[in-house]
Amino acid sequence: MERELPASLLMFISSRSAANRIFEALQKQGFGDLTIAQSRLMMGIDPEGTRLSVLAERAQIAKQTATALVDKLERAGYVERVADPTDGRARLVRMTSRAKKAIPHARAEEDRIEREWRAHLGTERMQLLREALTDLRKITDPYQ
Amino acid sequence: MERELPASLLMFISSRSAANRIFEALQKQGFGDLTIAQSRLMMGIDPEGTRLSVLAERAQIAKQTATALVDKLERAGYVERVADPTDGRARLVRMTSRAKKAIPHARAEEDRIEREWRAHLGTERMQLLREALTDLRKITDPYQ
DNA sequence: TTCCCATAGTCCTATCAACGAACTATAATA
DNA sequence: TATTATAGTTCGTTGATAGGACTATGGGAA
């Protein structure tokens, strides 16, 4: 008698699978120095640049962790820190052209995964899954 | 115009929320020395004990990582290593009574989360979500 | 049997992620 | 102006992770 796995664990399994695939896709495209945590942080950067503390909040990590990740991203040439014209204490983290080149590859793999999942589940169930997950986010994502 | 988040990211958000809640619940019940990774490994232990390499495979981590996690679990009194009577090379990782006391608390929080999610989504949508996730596992979980 | 290779687990080492605490500089407010 | 809040960094520590090399045991082939 098999115990039913919690929905959260099932989500963990599939989301990890997806994260690994995106990570591997980036590696193959010449972005092998990016890690999953770094990529996740980078995804939170707005086109005009984003403050470190905002990035930390979006990724739900401490400021110190974000500092360390941005340090590595900067050294690898993915982001740059520029002064925030509206606040002398703050700096904006901005993507460089290298990061902008990586994004489409990540998005492409995301789309590929999404299509495979849709093909496996069928269009309608995939749609229901998306809606349920989006709805669930309202009570599981403290930062909207 | 907001870009639709990938389903995998939505899963990541909710699964992390659940993992944090279970982790915090265990902390409050006197199991504050358990980490999320250690708990996850422990969940893979069968009643009669399980080989380290099997645990590593189930958690999808390297043997060395599993060794390190079991070391910590052993030092904290959650598991013990006993000889495998069927294979002189192997040892079985078994839960101690302390671990067995922790399990119900984790399960209880899991159930609480599951109920809240069901209340939020409605019984039918929650059921559809579960089924879709279970089905998806067939193509996202390399170890069944 | 004996020999060779596979397997189970560990040790060593290195890297990454993560964060509490303390600190500096700037902004905002009383 | 003095005080307090905020943005970000630095320091130090812990945990997770894995590559590579190693030991001991098991299993199959000659």
Does the residue B4 lie in any domain? no
Does the residue A51 lie in any domain? yes
Nearest CA in chain B to A22: B8
Per-residue confidence in pLDDT tens, chain B, 144 aa: 567 899 999 999 999 999 999 999 999 999 999 999 999 999 999 999 999 999 999 999 999 999 999 999 999 999 999 999 999 999 999 999 999 999 999 999 999 999 999 999 999 999 999 999 999 999 998 776
Residues of the domain holding B111: 9-140
Mean pLDDT, rounded, for A116-124: 98
Q: Closest partner residue to B11 among A4, A11, A139, by Cβ?
A: A11
Q: What does the alpha-carbon distance between residue B137 and residue B144 come to, in Å, rounded to a whole number?
A: 8
Does the residue A7 lie in any domain? no
Q: Cβ–Cβ of A137/B13 closer than 8 Å?
A: yes
Q: What does the alpha-carbon distance between residue A42 and residue A118 come to, in Å, rounded to a whole number?
A: 27
Terminal Cα distance for chain B, rounded: 39
Split into its structural domains, chain B has a count of: 1
Does the residue B2 lie in any domain? no
Does the residue B121 lie in any domain? yes
Q: How confident is the model at residue A22 (pLDDT cuts 50, 70, 90)?
A: very high
Q: What does the alpha-carbon distance between residue A74 and residue B111 come to, in Å, rounded to a whole number?
A: 43
The candidate with the shortest Cα–Cα distance to B16, out of A137, A17, A44, is A137
Does the residue B3 lie in any domain? no
pLDDT of A46 above 60 = yes
Mean residue pLDDT of chain A comes to 95
Nearest CA in chain A to B17: A140
pLDDT of A1 above 90 = no
Q: Which residue(s) pair with A51 in the sheet?
A: A92
Domain at B24, CATH number? 1.10.10.10
Residue A84 CB in 7 A reach of strand C: no
Does the residue A44 lie in any domain? yes
